[in-house]
Structure 1
Amino acid sequence: MTEHALRLNAFVKLGSFFKDYCEYAKKNPQLDLKPNPWFKTFDETITLAGHKNGWFTPENILFSIENWGDLLSRERLTDWLSPYDLNKNSPKSVAVIMAGNIPLVGFHDFLCTLISGNRAILKLSSNDKVLLPFVCSYLVEMEPSLKDDIVFADGRLEHFDAVIATGSDNTSRYFEHYFGKKSNIIRKNRNSVAVLTGRESEAQLRALGEDVFRYYGLGCRSVSKLFVPKDYNFDSFFKAVFPFNSILEQAKYANNYDYNKAVYLMSLFKILENGFLMLKEDTNYASPIATLFYEPYDSIEELKIRLRNDSDRLQCIVADGLMEDEIPFGQTQKPALTAYADNMDTVEFLLKI
């Protein structure tokens, strides 16, 4: 069996493990799962991840691994990789510097690096330091030949041929200074938006709530801003997203809601709110936690030009039949394997190093 086939098999096994674990975690009484010693270890890992980062709730971690369980099937992996000639790859050492805003946010870069035949040198965020090491332990157990090709770097990064780094606009300047002479992908801040017309169904607006509230709005694929027609009535939106009101049970979210509301009120900003989400008219894309910016538009055609010009600042555009490459309501947090961050083909980049 080729090295590529061995690596693909390992990720297929990981996908099966993720799916089985999710069923185990849901305690489905109709599912007769054989005891798996890895389940208990994963339980402990998820608990530890939550202790180290209060945003990493079991629900959101399960959501992430359930999506990866669906994606890491043999069929989907094979379809994804079919356009590439992986046999031409000359193995390199690739430093992958990961963000830590949502659970396993850097997993796609890790997957691209390993499955294309390269060695991954992983620099983890202090906010997400336990989930990926567990995943890597499982992968190595399934395919021992991966052991020497997965390295965790605690200090200074050394002996690498290329860099994939994800961070903020500020950290990107640091990355460009230190890694600019190497082949690199350096990612900056991006945000996601939704374009409403007033004709959306209640089901679509409820689904939009998933795009807004999943991961507490911390991901680049989280909708942080709405574009709406002038004189848009937000009553239907507030009614549709009301089932997400339990988000206030998360103390960190509730604290952010209270703090930002106080700031807005003291600053005499006009806001709309429903007890767990504030809407503020603002031209910026990046909104604070528990806040959703909105901006009225005059015409869809003018808005299309605006969004096209700002494409380097946007990750997802949620709409219904309005935009090129739009994403349906409720689907931003379920990206396909081909949904590369910043629209840069990571596998193609790795093959050309």
Structure 2
Amino acid sequence: MVHIQHKVKAFIKLGSFLKEYCEYSKKPIDLVGINGSNLAQFHEKVTLATHKNGWFSQENINFSLLQWSELLTENNLDEWLGNYNLAANNYKTVAIIMAGNIPLVGFHDFLSVILTGNSALIKQSSNDDVLLPFLADYLIQSDPSFKDNILFTEGKLENYDAVIATGSNNTARYFEHYLGKKPNIIRKNRNSIAVLTGNESTDELHALGEDIFQYYGLGCRSVSKIFVPVGYNFDTFFKAIYSYHPIIHRNKYANNYDYNKAVYLMSEFKIFDNEFLILKEDEGYASPIATLFYEFYSDKTALLEKLKQDEEKLQCVVSDWPEMKTVAFGSTQKPSLADYADGLDTVDFLLKT
């Protein structure tokens, strides 16, 4: 446990560094000393990440870093880990296969593996392979013992005891076939939704815009569909989210908007459009970029039953309905340390494996 406390302190230090970087990145200046050098070097890595992946804007990377800086505090880490008996862990090497849809999307798995006293064998997506190695080196600077617990690989995964893999429904079948013999968590596609009543305030709908547009809607916690009552006034929704309209000036987002709009118009689908977001009536959950699916409901009980049946397809539900497990408007991209992907307790899995 003493060994783990040293690692916790290193992550707390990392949290402070990430917060400092978010301020530094707004107006980079020359700094002297070890931390100043690290800030400048990390800024170069962030810039490289934006060049390698056009979806990783400075704003999106900073948003991710700021969320982690707020989570990696002494109080948060102690409260989170205090729910577990870390002494019960049997040391193991855990392979982590990371997705690359949003910046540092696999960091929670990395954190969980290390702070339960295990070693991480990390296979990154080529879409997000710049930031984490630098942060791992920063941890090693703070506590050299990390070097024995962190290994990155680009080749075939070998010599591991358990695996945590995140990908699409297609890659999940591959993971299950090749990795399923070891204890595992294998995550598939999930989407997030919002259930509206028509009585939401302008502030709530504006906050919902962050759930929709943050990371360009690429995250599993990004709202990709809304359920609305029959007769819902979409003008109210569009007015509340209008301040997000600068997103259309991002080339990759705009290209997707133009393409999807053209497809819908040629197919003669009925759509609502405010020149930066397309609303399309659809029973599916996974909407394309720059598109938000919607579906009408008239019976609250029937909708609750539908969502219960589709529970394994859903990551977050934004609503104020007390009958469901929900998250507040504007908070889908701000999970706590105990908000586990797919509702599977990663730490509990690691301690019992």
- Taking structure 1 as the reference length, the TM-score comes to 0.97
Q: Which whole-Å deviations, capped at 9, do the CAs of 1:292-325 have from their partners, x for residues lacking one?
A: 0000011222111111111100000000134422
- Residue aligning to 2:291: 291
What is the rounded CA distance, in whole Å, between the counterparts of 1:193 and 1:75 in structure 2?
31
Q: CA deviation at 1:42?
A: 1.0
Q: CA deviation at 1:28?
A: 10
- Residue aligning to 1:93: 93
Structure 2: where are the runs of 5+ without partners? none
- Residue aligning to 1:243: 243
What is the rounded CA distance, in whole Å, between the counterparts of 1:211 and 1:161 in structure 2?
36
- Residue aligning to 2:328: 328
Q: Indicate the percent of aligned positions where both proteins have the same amino acid.
A: 60
Please tell me the residue identity of whatever aligns with 1:47: T
Structure 1: where are the runs of 5+ without partners? none
What is the rounded CA distance, in whole Å, between the counterparts of 2:301 and 2:13 in structure 1?
47
- Residue aligning to 1:21: 21
What is the rounded CA distance, in whole Å, between the counterparts of 1:201 and 1:34 in structure 2?
48
What is the rounded CA distance, in whole Å, between the counterparts of 2:103 and 2:34 in structure 1?
27
Corresponding residue SS for 1:36: helix
Q: CA deviation at 1:34?
A: 9.5
Q: How does 1:24-63 map to 2 (within 5 A)?
A: 24-27=24-27, 36-63=36-63
Q: CA deviation at 1:2?
A: 1.4
Please tell me the residue identity of whatever aligns with 1:221: R
Please tell me the residue identity of whatever aligns with 1:78: D
Distance 1:348 1:167, change over 3 A: same
- Residue aligning to 1:277: 277
Q: CA deviation at 1:27?
A: 4.1
Q: Which whole-Å deviations, capped at 9, do the CAs of 1:97-139 have from their partners, x for residues lacking one?
A: 0000000000000000001000000000010010111110111
**How many residues were matched structurally?**
350
Please tell me the residue identity of whatever aligns with 1:275: E
Please tell me the residue identity of whatever aligns with 1:218: L
What is the rounded CA distance, in whole Å, between the counterparts of 1:260 and 1:321 in structure 2?
32
* 2:166 is the counterpart of 1:161: no
Please tell me the residue identity of whatever aligns with 2:240: A
Q: CA deviation at 1:281?
A: 0.2
What is the rounded CA distance, in whole Å, between the counterparts of 1:169 and 1:162 in structure 2?
20
- Residue aligning to 2:257: 257
User: Which aligned segments of 4 or more residues in structure 1 are displaced greater than 4 angstroms?
Assistant: none
Corresponding residue SS for 1:316: strand
Corresponding residue SS for 1:203: helix
Corresponding residue SS for 1:247: helix
What is the rounded CA distance, in whole Å, between the counterparts of 2:137 and 2:28 in structure 1?
26
- Residue aligning to 2:347: 347
Please tell me the residue identity of whatever aligns with 2:327: I
Q: CA deviation at 1:148?
A: 1.6
Please tell me the residue identity of whatever aligns with 1:124: Q
What is the rounded CA distance, in whole Å, between the counterparts of 1:283 and 1:100 in structure 2?
27
Q: Select between 294-303 and 104-113 the one with higher mean Cα deviation.
A: 294-303
What is the rounded CA distance, in whole Å, between the counterparts of 1:91 and 1:12 in structure 2?
23
- Structure 1 vs Structure 2 CA RMSD: 1.4
